[in-house]
Amino acid sequence: MFITKKALSRRTFLQGAGATLALPFLDAMVPALSAAAKPTPRLGFIYIANGVIQKQWNPSATGPLSELPPILSPLEPVKNQLNVISGLAHLQADTFGDGTGDHPRASAAWLTGVHAYDRTQPGVEVRLATTADQLAARVIGKSTQLASLELTVDFPTQGSCDSGDCFYINTVSWRNETTPNPAETHPRVVFERLFGDGGSAAQRLARIKETGSILDSVTEEVSSLAKHLGRGDRTKLKEYLDSVREIEQRIQNTETQSKHSIELPERPVDVPDSFDEYTKMMLDLVALAYQADITRVFTMIFARELSSRTFAHIGVADQHHALSHHRDDPELIAKKAKIDVYHAQLLNYFLTRLQSTHDGDGSLLDHSLILYGGGMGDGNLHRHFDLPCLLAGNLGGQFKTGRHLAFPDKTPMTNLLLTILDKAGAPIEKLGDSTGPLDVN
């Protein structure tokens, strides 16, 4: 550790023309001879839709995760940092005599435990509830540049909904009972929210052409700061800035290759043609935001309910939602399971990046808790119990890991959300249909 009499502020930024760059956690931010800084808690919520092939998701035994089930097998490199949780339910996503809409209600209930009103009924006001991510953001995100970050890689669209309304499937984050948080789709918009001031379409295009990188505007400040850092901190700073530049270049390359990059609209719409590259780029941006402590809370939709996305790059040309209604056809089950495995591969990409990024006395994964799952268990039968639910990370030692925890059937998933909020330092007494926190240790 680099010992100084005066510690560098945790909220130190590098200022440049059109750019504000937060710093990762450095040893120089710890006062000399003081106790080690308390780990910064970080929470993430990643949504997968249309249920999963449950027989290939749930581990065969409870207790230690000696062997991962087929769908979760890509997570073997981080197995010791996982908890697979079974027995949870979102029964508020069932129909209460208000028609169909099992899919929209599934995503609406995921972080609320609240039954979503059917908007097709005349005179019914749209209401839900403040979601768990926002309850956490009000506490652990109040001192960060962005209290929370909402993302999706499955483009919001009205499309075809079984309730006649897709309102609830395009985000899983609600600021309050009447205000959903839109989920951002475009990597450059996310990048500029994290590191730059954005500006108009003309200003963004000019900056791309003229400067090439926001890092060019903070070069002098980086050099000045590095002179006062120890060797370990200089290495951390270099690795962080290299990551920022590498992602920025990937975004610029995508825009350069795009048919639409000649004249950017006011809200850019270009994303990588490859879904794999696109999703990993968005996950890399989240990892950077965690590393620089720009935000401590995020939500991301890997797949929205009723998604019609196809996955030709993994050999699945069928639409995701259609495959979830497999009718016990072995061929269709195999294809749906292949999509589930692929999503787990993307999750592993993100978790291994967090695990390899130093943060204080551990890694970003050590100090984070990522909830991965959805509001529907059996997509074929539209059942909202035995939900897919996985926790990754231990939130600075708050969670024991490497286990399969089986709770009584139809235990409210909101009980787990209560537990997560409590461990993250944002306790509440009740959330939706919760009956009390879970004993996860």
First to last CA, the chain: 33
**What percent helix, strand, coil does the chain show, rounded to 5?**
35, 15, 50
Classify domain 40-185+296-441 by CATH architecture: 3-Layer(aba) Sandwich (3.40)
378-437 tens-digit pLDDT:
999 999 999 999 999 999 999 999 999 999 999 999 999 999 999 999 999 999 999 999
Q: Are strands 149-152 and 297-301 parallel, antiparallel or unpaired?
A: parallel
Amino acid (one-letter) located at 74: P
Q: Are strands 389-392 and 82-89 parallel, antiparallel or unpaired?
A: antiparallel
Enumerate residues 6+ apart whose C-beta is below 8 A from 326.
332, 333, 335, 336, 380
- Report how far residue 362's alpha carbon sits from residue 349's, in angstroms, rounded to the nearest whole number: 19
By C-alpha distance, which of 86, 87, 80 is closest to 64? 80
Confidence at residue 5, expressed as pLDDT on a 0 to 100 scale: 44
* Strand extents, DSSP E, 61-167: 63-64, 82-89, 149-152
| pTM (two decimals) | 0.82
Token look-up 């024991």 returns 400
Enumerate residues 6+ apart whose C-beta is below 8 A from 434.
113, 412, 414, 415, 417, 418
Q: Which residues of the chain does CATH 3.40.720 include? A: 40-185+296-441
119-156 tens-digit pLDDT:
556 666 678 999 999 999 999 998 888 999 999 999 87
Q: How far is CA 146 from CA 10, 195, 440, in A?
A: 15, 11, 30
Element (H, E) at 21: strand 19-22
Confidence at residue 96, expressed as pLDDT on a 0 to 100 scale: 86
Count Cβ atoms below 10 Å from residue 77 Cβ, excluding itself.
11
Confidence at residue 197, expressed as pLDDT on a 0 to 100 scale: 55
- Report how far residue 113's alpha carbon sits from residue 106's, in angstroms, rounded to the nearest whole number: 9
Low-confidence ranges of the chain (pLDDT < 70): 1-37, 117-125, 157-166, 197-222, 224, 228, 244, 247, 249-270
Q: How far is CA 304 from CA 104, 118, 171, 371, 384, in A?
A: 9, 18, 8, 16, 15
Distance of CA 347 to the CA centre of its chain: 9
Confidence at residue 258, expressed as pLDDT on a 0 to 100 scale: 47
Amino acid (one-letter) located at 419: T
Do the Cβ atoms of 333 and 186 come closer than 8 Å? no
By C-alpha distance, which of 17, 22, 140, 197 is closest to 9? 22
Tell me the backbone φ, ψ of residue 107, rounded to 5 degrees. Answer: -75, -30
